[in-house]
A and B are shown apart, each in its own frame.
Chain A
Amino acid sequence: RKEVEQDPGPFNVPEGATVAFNCTYSNSASQSFFWYRQDCRKEPKLLMSVYSSGNEDGRFTAQLNRASQYISLLIRDSKLSDSATYLCVVNLFSGEDSNYQLIWGAGTKLIIKP
C-alpha cells in the first residue's frame, strides 16, 4: 500500500460545478498536511495547508480526518483556470532518528470544461 494515495483521475468537471477529492495516508504519525497544485510541466505551488479544524480559502476548503487518515479538498464554483494536477503532501518527522520526510501523492488530475 502506498504511503499517500490519491485517485489519479482525470476528473472532468463542467465550469461552475463543485468538485471534491480525497487523499489517504497510511502513517498515523503524520504531522502536517498540504495541498499543492501543479500545472503541466511546471513546478508545484502551495495551494493550502490543511489544519485539524479545517480551513477555507475563497473557493477552496480543506479538511483533515485523523481518525480515518484522509484529507480532502473541495473546490466550489470551479473555473477553467483550476485545471491542474492537485498533489497531497504529508509531513513525517521521526523523533527517534530526527529524520524528516515529505511524502507526496501521485496527484489527481482535474480538467474543467467550459
Chain B
Amino acid sequence: ETGVTQSPTHLIKTRGQQVTLRCSSQSGHNTVSWYQQALGQGPQFIFQYYREEENGRGNFPPRFSGLQFPNYSSELNVNALELDDSALYLCATLPGQGAGANVLTFGAGSRLTVL
C-alpha cells in the first residue's frame, strides 16, 4: 500500500452527470497531480496542485476542475460527463523536497464508467 488513497474505487455515471473523485495525500506530500488513463493508453496529465494552488495543467477542458485542501488532500470534479470520460483516474503525490522529491506516489485509481 502506497499511503495515497483514492475513492471511490469504481463508479458508474450517465452522460451529463457530474462526478467528484477524492485523493488523500501521503503525509508530508504537498503536491498532488491527477491523470486520466484510458484503456491501453498512458496516463494523460490533467493538472497539478501545490499548496492549494493549481501550478500546472494539461490539455483538458474547463469542465475538469480540482481542489486541494489545507491537509493536502484533493478532489477532481468533472462536469457534464461524456462517454469518452470513461477511464481510470489516478492521483499522485510528491514530497516536493528531500530525497525522492520528484518521485510520484500513485493511488490505486478510481475507475469511472460513463453510460
Chain A residues with a Cβ under 8 A of chain B: 4, 6, 32, 34, 36, 42-46, 49, 87, 91, 98-107
Contacts and interface: CB of A to CB of B under 8 A. Distances in A.
Contacts of A105: 42
Given A42-B108, A46-B103, A46-B104, A104 B45 contact: yes
Given A42-B108, A99-B57, A104 B43 contact: yes
Contacts of B41: 106-107
A42 B37 CA distance: 11
Nearest to B58: A101
A43 B45 contact: no
B108 A102 contact: no
A62 to B, nearest CB: 14
B42 A102 contact: no
Most chain-A CB neighbours within 10 Å: which of B42, B48, B57, B90? B42
Contacts, number: 52
Q: Which among A43, A45, A106 has the greatest number of chain B C-beta atoms within 10 A?
A: A43
Contacts of A34: 102
Q: Which of A44, A46, A98 has the most CB of B within 10 A?
A: A44
A103 B109 contact: no
6 contacts: A43-B90, A44-B104, A87-B42, A101-B56, A101-B57, A101-B58
B55 A98 contact: yes
A104 B42 contact: yes
Contacts of A49: 102-103
Contact of B43 (A42, A46, A87, A100): A87
Contacts of B72: none
A43 B108 contact: yes
Contacts of B103: 46, 49
A45 B42 CA distance: 13
Contacts of A43: 2, 90, 106-109
